[in-house]
Amino acid sequence: MEVAKRDLFKDQVFVFTPAGDIIDLPSGSTPIDFAYRIHTDLGSKCSGARVNGRLVPLSYQFSNGDVVEIIVRANQKPSLDWLNLVASAQARSKIKAYFRKANREDNVTRGRLALEEECKRLGEAPAECLKAEKLQALAQKMNLVSVEDLYAQIGYGDLTAEGVLHRIREDLPRRKLDELRTSDLMMEQGELPIEISADGVDGVLYRLSKCCQPIPGDALIGYVTRGKGIAIHRLDCPNLRKVKSSEEESQRLLALDWQDTGHGLYQADIEIIAIDRMGLLADLGAIFSEAKTNIRQAKMSSDPRKHTATIILQIDTTGVTHLQEVINRINAIGDILSVHRRRAGA
């Protein structure tokens, strides 16, 4: 019977709170496991522990019968290093959840402040320009779930505050191509048209700019080049900032719209930051296989100090809606800290 009991409980350790309550944990558990078992906030602020009245490091592994008292510090925050110290799935899950949330919250704040600063730069009151209903309508139009998602994409650098504000204000110059010289619309031999419509223009050939890789669903702006047709950019493409600031060059900008063609493949870059672990690339590969999405290029780097991996992928996509579906699938992997569309060439 004693042998059976030892076998039954060999994967567990039983410790006590200072009040005498019994806490059962997986064998190999540390003060961090104990703290998260009591409460998430206690775990996040855990800076040390006393076991049987003496100070122990966070790496200390419990023995049966230990009496554990957690030491907290108000400014303490979880560390990714803790993932190497914990033995319980509960603690591991809560540590990962903290970093997923913290990463997003930082970018939401960064994006919101950038949008407010852009309003002030243009001499407009943020409270008037950034009304909730306008932001929500734009988020829905861009296939985003919430305004926070919009802020987060600005914070990540996927969108610019300038481009978002232009879409809110709807003040792009809309002009007819006949105002420009016919010679400016000549295309290089062999260049093919893409199915895009522009105000008052039919049958004119275009080319997608590689600097920002526009895809169906992106807000567009065209630049009428000298002798090479219309270069199509995303509205928030940073390469057009000098053009927009020049009175002469800005006259060559043209508002464009995608036609609802429902076919064709385009390239987009995404950046994934994840907790570095064995099998991560295999899990990502399974996601892309299920989504029937081709990976054209891949680049991965690891940060041993932070225990994170950064993966940059160029993939084929039919447009913004499909791309967001792929991003949502990737986000469902437990060890993903953040994933977002990346500006080409960034």
Going by C-alpha positions, the residue among 197, 196, 205 that lies closest to residue 225 is 205
Query: What is the model's pLDDT at position 346?
Result: 57
pLDDT, tens digit (0-9, with 9 covering 90-100), for 142-189: 778 889 988 988 887 777 787 788 777 664 444 444 444 444 444 443
Kindly indicate the confidence band of residue 117, based on its pLDDT and cuts at 50, 70 and 90. Answer: confident
Average pLDDT over residues 24-40: 96
Least confident of 95-109, 125-139, 234-248: 234-248
Cα 221 to Cα 251: distance, rounded to the nearest angstrom: 12
Predicted structure pTM score: 0.64
Query: What is the model's pLDDT at position 261?
Result: 57
pLDDT, tens digit (0-9, with 9 covering 90-100), for 75-103: 999 988 898 899 998 999 899 888 888 88
b (16+ CB within 10 A) / e for 3-30: eeeeeeeeeebebbeeeeeebebbeebb
Four-point Cα dihedral 153, 154, 157, 160, nearest 10: 130
Cα 33 to Cα 26: distance, rounded to the nearest angstrom: 9
Cα 157 to Cα 346: distance, rounded to the nearest angstrom: 9
Counting residues of the chain whose pLDDT is more than 70, the rounded percentage is 84
pLDDT, tens digit (0-9, with 9 covering 90-100), for 34-71: 999 999 999 999 999 999 999 999 999 999 999 999 99
Sorted by where each starts, the structural domains of the chain and their CATH numbers stand as 2-87 (3.10.20.30), 95-169 (no CATH), 177-258 (no CATH), 266-342 (3.30.70.260)
HSE toward the beta carbon, residue 17, CA cutoff 13 A? 11
